[in-house]
Chains A and B, each alone.
Chain A
Amino acid sequence: MALPAATESKDVILEVSNLSKYYPVNQGFFTRQKSLLHAVDNVSFQVNRGEVLGLVGESGCGKTTTGRLIVRLATPTSGRILIEDTDVAEIKGQDMMEFRQKVQMIFQDPYESLDPRMTIFDIVAEPLNVNGIGTFEEREAQVEEMLSLVGLAPPSAFLFRFPHELSGGQRQRVAIARALVVRPSFVVADEPTSMLDVSIRTGIMKLMAQLREDLGISYLYITHDLAVARYLCDRIAVMYLGKIVELGNSEDIVKRPLHPYTKALISAVPVPDPAIDRPLPNIKGGVSKPIDPKPRCRFYDRCPESADSCAEAENPELRDIGGGHLVACHLL
């Protein structure tokens, strides 16, 4: 894939190149031809140290799969993931422990991502426990420190509670504390605010921004909410059916969207002004299934601007159209 040459590898903490993940479907005894669901299809991007990259897209576009591939909860079909210059796919044995301390994930649903039979202390201390970090007293001190860092103060009031005794926002803070207690340098945040009430959401977002400053963490922030992405992220990558269609600085993406899909997404964000008259998004049809997709542009069926030439042409590659703004569209 034609990408601008990687900037100094010193600055790049995560480099994903040509990453693909296909899932076999209707793999029966008698079906000879098996279909493939292209969850993530030839995706490349980088995250620089200290940066927050937002991965935005609708449900089922492969953004969570990308996150799971990066933390190695799934293995890629092809492509490479480099984190601090180590190939994630080739980590084995002892290096795995190191990797788990370096790369962490915050999960979407705080009601499901905490073991209901464990106390808050055991949940937050688990990453330290399984990696054999510190003595019991040290772990306990770290857990308490982390809990107050995420705004659960005083920690002693929370240590021996069970998750069901906490509110959604508090649980997500526990989940964040647990992910950050091993001091990772890179965190995949999979829609950490989407299951929370709007009133709590800003608190968690502020916390994540604060922790990024304090601990120098780089995030891959997966979300379907452009407003959240704009608030938190330095750059935004827009995904559609397993492909990145547009990538650029947050303000660029939001203010000057170029890809028809991004334009439609932006036009769907509510504006808090009743007087504003927005054009209706003129996108056609529903989400197509990413099972054995045609080699042409994934957005072709729904694209309001598609030209006849798009039907025949190969899937467009991401091209730099200046200022680090990358778009995958034939019409630009």
Chain B
Amino acid sequence: MNELVPTHETGPASLAEPIWKIRWKLTRRSLRQNWEIFKESRIGMLGIILIIAFGIFGAMWPIMINTVWDPMVYDPVVGFDPMMMHPSPPSGTHLLGTDPIGRDILAQLMHSTGREFLLGVLSALITVVIGTAVGTAAAYYGGLIDTFFMRIADIILLFPFIPLLVVVGAMVKLSFLPFAIIMGVLGGFGGITIILKAQALSVSVRPYIDAARVAGGSNFHIIVSHIIPNVLPLSFLYMMFSVTSAILSEATLSFFGVLNIDMSWGMMIHTADVAGYLFDFARYWWLWAPAGLAITLFCAAFYMVGRGLDEVVNPRLRKR
């Protein structure tokens, strides 16, 4: 009955441009449209501005240390200013003062910014990649796979991992990269999986999934080209929130001094704490306030971007 074999009388490829160019244009258009919606959200824009500000702040570090500052004095870890008593309050030479062992607070703050970005983004990326893959697989295949991963997620959610890491950290000092990976993996198998699984579940019962199956699509094809693209906006949203949680955990663990990280915002507060200056925190405010504020604003910035993205991803939240 298939005597109507494909005829190519409409001519071969009558597309005006190569296909990748068209797709690129479509992607750009949809990004532009989403940006328009995102711009409407003040809280999201504030977040973006804060992140850019932190970016500039962090990018200034290598410039400062190579041009203005003397590495002997301003090195965040081994620097020492022999010209004054420590900790010294903010002054012309040390804009944010020095810590108990004579290191410049501003230099420490700047030096740490880039690391915090790297830690946050790296662990959030790991979280989202694992969360999306596991959530989608659990939703699509169900059964044993679903039960297995959901119980793991429950355990991670319920188990207090920060205290555990404090105890483990007392024995094995985790350095920067392993810590980012552990936070990413814990996040990926934890709460995010449940949220992304819920989304994947609602996608996988839509009629277009049946339609793809009738078209002859394999399970792999359906997951990769239908379910994941429809879960991805939510993944991206939760990536923002993951950054926040990774930074917070790092700050907490650094504060307890159980990480093998030479300098970070949490480490700065830790330094003040072990030297006993936090007992008189009002007088020695420059020892903890800059780092504390940086942690708060940095986490808030990513959270606010997440809130702004929420309105893009979830049309029901939009004001108009």
Interface assignment of B147: CB less than 8 Å from any CB of chain A: no
A214 lies within 8 A of chain B by Cβ: yes
- The tally of CB-CB contacts under 8 A between chains A and B is 107
B58 to chain A, nearest CB (A): 35
Task: Identify which of A73, A136, A182 contacts B19 (C-beta below 8 A).
Answer: A136
Cβ–Cβ < 8 Å partners of B144 in chain A: none
Least Cβ distance of B2 to chain A in Å? 5
Partner of A138, one of B6, B19, B213: B6
**Count of interface residues, chain B, beta-carbon cutoff 8 Å:** 36
Considering only CB atoms, which chain B residue lies closest to A136 in the complex?
Answer: B19
Report Cα–Cα, A134/B214, bound state, in Å: 19
How far, in angstroms, from A118 to B213 measured CA to CA in the complex?
Answer: 16
Residue A252 interfacial (CB < 8 Å): no
- A3 and B207 CA atoms in complex are apart in Å by 34
Determine if B83 is an interface residue (Cβ-Cβ < 8 Å): no
Interface positions of B from 99 to 120, Cβ below 8 Å from A: none
Cβ B215 vs Cβ A116 within 8 A: no
8 interchain residue pairs of minimum CB distance? A100-B216, A127-B215, A113-B207, A137-B13, A112-B207, A185-B1, A115-B208, A137-B12
| B14 interface contact, C-beta 8 A | yes
Known: A107-B207, A140-B15, A144-B14. 8 other contacts (CB 8 A): A73-B214, A97-B216, A112-B206, A113-B210, A136-B13, A141-B8, A142-B6, A178-B215
Assembly CA distance A68 to B206 (angstroms): 14
| A215 in contact with B4 (CB, 8 Å) | yes
What's the Cα separation between A56 and B22 when bound, in Å?
A: 44
The complex places the Cα of A138 from the Cα of B9 at a distance, in Å, of: 11
With A138-B6, A140-B15, A144-B14 in contact, is A107–B210 under 8 Å at CB? yes
Return chain B residues, CB-CB under 8 Å to A141.
6, 8, 10-14
* B10 close to A101 (CB less than 8 A): no
Residue numbers in B under 8 Å from A14 (CB-CB):
none
Distance in angstroms from A220 CB to nearest chain B CB is 13
Residues on A with beta carbons closer than 8 Å to the beta carbon of B9: 145
Alpha-carbon distance A175/B212, docked complex (angstroms): 11
CA of A112 to CA of B209 in the docked complex: distance in angstroms? Answer: 9
For B22, B211, B213, the residue with the greatest tally of chain A CB atoms inside 10 Å of its CB is B211
| Docked complex Cα distance between A60 and B13 (Å) | 46
Tell me which residues across on chain B come within 8 A of A112, comparing CB atoms. 206-208
